[in-house]
Amino acid sequence: MNQKVSVVIVTFNRLALLKEVIESLQQQETAVSHLIVVDNASESDTQSYLESLGDRIEYVRLPNNIGGAGGFNAGIRYFMSYTSDEFVWLMDDDTIPQRDTLSQLLAFSNVKKNFGFLASDVRWIDGHRALMNRPAPMNRLKKVPEDLTEPIQVQNATFVSLLMKRSVVKQIGLPITDFFIWGDDIEYTERAARVAPGYFVPSAKVVHKMATNVGSSLLNDVPERTPRYFYSYRNKVYYAKKRDSYRKYRAFLRIFLEYLQIRFSRTERKQEKLSTLKRGVSVGKSFNPNIEFADDFNDNHH
């Protein structure tokens, strides 16, 4: 069994954290086969550090910042086109795996051979779940307990320590660059879950070193981030449309409730927030981005 794994890290101007991530990957109990770093046109300090690593990494520098979505699109494309590895392991540049994280994901992949994706248990620096990366159980009325030990099936997951199979990528294509930020991972893992079930693997732990442990919320986020929520709502509408009718209805209801919550709150710059949400939803209705597929190295080297 070829259990070779490529890692894809997408980075943008976070050199200190990136160094820590690369170090933790080099110390994995199960060695990774290719370490692919996709650089979203970071400043020169990041560039010269990555160049100094020479052939210890595969350095993919993008000409400009095309967001996390474009970065993962480029990274998975590189994995498909330039390696013959069986798995790709995706993460952000502030994701610190434990020594046995990859071993735990692979151990489960040997038990459950048919899967769309495997997601890690993502914690914040204080040991509690990272709110941005909470597992989404099949029954959304239930919460996944923090002390869960057995893997469970989930609806979707984030690109913070996610293992995928080459054969699944070949079937479903690449993440959608046009998403830019937000929701690209939810859409992508839901696409994968339509091929085979996705699982949350609690023994495969990572630390997500975000500055603060908060989920994203247009109502409470800082003013300079308001415009980014346009992508959040546009992308949500796109992937909600792909769901079965009950889950689609629930997603739209949730967006409507967020609208009402902002409308009747005492939040500052309320009009700007409401118009950002409305613009995202209205563009989302006709947003129909192209799904790209990568050339497969294995097809070209038989």
Mean pLDDT score, 191-205 = 98
- Check residue 301 and give its pLDDT: 83
Q: Could you tell me if 122 and 200 lie in one domain?
A: yes
Q: Could you tell me if 263 and 148 lie in one domain?
A: no
Q: Could you tell me if 203 and 265 lie in one domain?
A: no
Domain boundary among 176, 208, 240: 208
Domain boundary among 164, 180, 208: 208
Does residue 241 lie in a domain region? yes
Domain boundary among 183, 208, 233: 208
Mean pLDDT score, 195-223 = 94
Give pLDDT tens digits for 139-188.
988 999 999 999 999 999 999 999 999 999 999 999 999 999 999 999 99
Domain, as residue range, for 259 = 223-286
Does residue 301 lie in a domain region? no
pLDDT over threshold 60, residue 1: no
Does residue 200 lie in a domain region? yes
Q: Could you tell me if 201 and 79 lie in one domain?
A: yes
Q: Could you tell me if 25 and 153 lie in one domain?
A: yes
Q: Could you tell me if 202 and 261 lie in one domain?
A: no
Q: Could you tell me if 277 and 135 lie in one domain?
A: no
pLDDT over threshold 80, residue 302: no
SS3 sequence, the chain? Answer: CCCCEEEEEEECCCHHHHHHHHHHHHCCCCCCCEEEEEECCCCHHHHHHHHHCHHHCEEEECCCCCHHHHHHHHHHHHHHHHCCCCEEEEEECCEEECCCHHHHHHHHHHHCCCCCEEEEEEECCCCCECHHHCCCECCCCCCCCCCCCCCEEECCCCCCCEEEEHHHHHHHCCCCHHHCCCCHHHHHHHHHHCCCCEEEEEEEEEEECCCCCCCCCCCCCCHHHHHHHHHHHHHHHHHHHCCCHHHHHHHHHHHHHHHHHHHCCCCCCHHHHHHHHHHHHHHHHHCCCCCCCCCCHHHHCC
Q: Could you tell me if 179 and 240 lie in one domain?
A: no
As a whole number, the mean pLDDT across the chain is 96
Give pLDDT tens digits for 242-295.
999 999 999 999 999 999 999 999 999 999 999 999 999 999 999 999 999 999
Q: Could you tell me if 121 and 263 lie in one domain?
A: no
- Check residue 202 and give its pLDDT: 98
Give pLDDT tens digits for 89-143.
999 999 999 999 999 999 999 999 999 999 999 999 999 999 999 999 999 889 9
Q: Could you tell me if 22 and 139 lie in one domain?
A: yes
- Check residue 216 and give its pLDDT: 85
Report the predicted TM-score, pTM, of the whole model to 2 decimal places: 0.96
Q: Please report, for the domain that includes residue 173, its CATH number.
A: 3.90.550.60
Q: How many domains in the chain?
A: 2
Mean pLDDT score, 36-45 = 97
